[in-house]
Amino acid sequence: MATRDVGLEDGAGGGLVRPEEQRAPGELLRVLAAVSFCHLINDMVQSLLPSMFPILKTSFHLNFSQIGLIALTFQTTASLLQPGIGHLTDRRPVPFSLPVGMTCTLVGLGMLAWAPTFGLLLLAAALFGVGSAVFHPESSRVARMASGGKDGFAQSFFQVGGNTGSAFGPLLAALLVLPRGQVGVLWFTLATLVGIPLLVWVSLWYRRELGRRASRAVAERAQHGLPRGKVAGALTVLMVLVFSKYFYIASLTNYYTFYLIQRFHVSVESAQLHLFVLFGAIAAGTVIGGPVGDRIGRKYVIWVSILGVLPFTLAMPYVDLFWTGVLSVVIGVVLASAFAAILVYAQELVPTRIGMISGVFFGLAFGMGGIGAAVLGRMADATGIVFVYKVCAWLPALGLLTGLLPNLEPGGRTNGGEASPVEEPERV
């Protein structure tokens, strides 16, 4: 592995001395488990928004466009802030930003429970976005620092916490919120009150690790040997693939319950249970993508994950309730395996900018989800929710662009390629 001497500023990027050389696996696993559990809490709480849409639609007499605007406010706030926060923390890490981010989510929860107007609902959604924007880049960096060299596994382990939380959110919403109405979300404050002190502990480890690594002052460099233009082109392709994935996911996470209720006339409780199963499938797919990418390469996982769901998305708008449930599980598992592979692939392209890259891709995921929610809400008002699923079914065809990506090996090196001793291709 090529290395060079750097100062603290480069060290903050998450690419310092590899953790497996410095810490026992047990300690790293505890840190990774803690940050993954906090990801579960963060995303469980934030999944309340789509889960509460039927309640909010009735209570505030909202149309689909206004539902889409709530989702857009949350996800766009997160997407706009995350890259900037990641860039700043690459240069100057702020370990204790992690509990601060969850505190913002806690305040948003309280506001969501008591908001009397649509405007305050939007403000609560914005606070949820701020919480996500602060949490994701820094916690993703911590996951990489605690990876023990298995970056794909670490990102999948971290991601599955979030996806598991997203799966339990709708289920708990059905049990705790639907019977009590809007104020029922206050039950979820208990989870954030557990997560905040746990993130304080993670932040203390993170601060100690930064200080210890700064004294060693060794960082990773890109091993792929690609020129800047090809790195930029590969990042652009990855962003298009994230658009394809999350625009389609927006149709599922935000409007799946409405689709089931309108097309199959199921109850709200039954639709929430279907949404829980879907989120569970997404969590399972997340577990698979990272470790498989460690073994066979990220590009192959991306191929199968994006393009591989196309036959199933095309079939889903035309089948009955049973097969809709089956196909949604298949789509969730396969499509979810892409993000960990995409994110680690991007980090391998630019390993000295872990925070910025994590912020860009998490932010893009939130942004595409938000834009998708707003656009699809407009489309649903104009044409019907079933038509939305027929149009979105073609989005995975963009997976054909995966063929333009260079063939990085799992360690970040091109097939037969060596890093250039002169050019610094990772700085884009």
Q: What is the pLDDT of residues 277-335, one digit of tens each?
A: 887 788 788 888 888 877 887 888 898 889 989 999 999 999 999 999 999 999 989 98
Q: Taking all residues of the chain, what is their mean pLDDT, rounded to a whole number?
A: 80
Q: What is the pLDDT of residue 235?
A: 93
Half-sphere exposure of 274 (CA within 13 A, CB side): 25
Domain ranges within the chain, ordered by starting residue: 18-404
Q: What is the pLDDT of residue 414?
A: 59
What backbone phi and psi angles, to 5 degrees, belong to 350?
A: -135, 70
Count of residues for the chain? 428
pLDDT category of residue 276 using cuts at 50, 70 and 90: confident
Please give the residue that has the higher pLDDT: either 183 or 1.
183
Q: What is the pLDDT of residue 21?
A: 45
Q: What is the pLDDT of residue 292?
A: 82
Tell me which residue has tokens 């310092």: 16
Helix H, strand E, coil C: the string for the chain is CCEEECCHHHHCCCCECCHHHCCCHHHHHHHHHHHHHHHHHHHHHHCHHHHHHHHHHHHCCCCHHHHHHHHHHHHHHHHHHHHHHHHHHHHCCCCCHHHHHHHHHHHHHHHHHHCCCHHHHHHHHHHHHHHHHHHHHHHHHHHHHCCCCCHHHHHHHHHHHHHHHHHHHHHHHHHHHCCCCHHHHHHHHHHHHHHHHHHHHHHHHHHHHHHHHHHHCEEECCCCCCCHHHHHHHHHHHHHHHHHHHHHHHHHHHHHHHHHHHHHCCCHHHHHHHHHHHHHHHHHHHHHHHHHHHHHCHHHHHHHHHHCCHHHHHHHHHCCHHHHHHHHHHHHHHHHHHHHHHHHHHHHHCCCCHHHHHHHHHHHHHHHHHHHHHHHHHHHHHHCHHHHHHHHCCHHHHHHHHHHCCCECCCCCECCCCCCCCCCCCCC
Is pLDDT of 1 > 90? no
Q: What is the pLDDT of residue 146?
A: 86
CB atoms within 10 A of CB 318: 12
- pLDDT tens column, 97-146: 999 999 999 999 888 888 888 888 899 989 988 998 889 888 988 988 88
Is pLDDT of 211 > 50? yes
Distance between CA 403 and CA 400 in Å, rounded? 6
Six token digits for residue 354: 């872990």
Is pLDDT of 424 > 50? no
**Cα distances (Å, whole numbers) of residue 342 to 154, 347, 359:** 13, 9, 13
Six token digits for residue 288: 């698979």
Please give the residue that has the higher pLDDT: either 407 or 218.
407
Q: What is the pLDDT of residue 316?
A: 93
What CATH number belongs to 18-404?
Answer: 1.20.1250.20
Is pLDDT of 408 > 80? no
Tell me which residue has tokens 């027929």: 390
Is pLDDT of 61 > 60? yes
Q: What is the pLDDT of residue 137?
A: 86
- pLDDT tens column, 222-242: 566 788 888 899 999 999 998
Is pLDDT of 14 > 70? no
- pLDDT tens column, 33-53: 999 999 999 988 887 877 788
Six token digits for residue 15: 């690419």
CB atoms within 10 A of CB 296: 12
Is pLDDT of 20 > 50? no
Is pLDDT of 415 > 70? no
- pLDDT tens column, 149-208: 788 888 888 988 887 887 788 778 878 887 777 778 888 999 999 999 999 999 999 988
pLDDT category of residue 250 using cuts at 50, 70 and 90: confident
Task: Let me know: does 128 contact 73? Beta carbons within 8 Å.
Answer: no
Distance between CA 203 and CA 250 in Å, rounded? 32
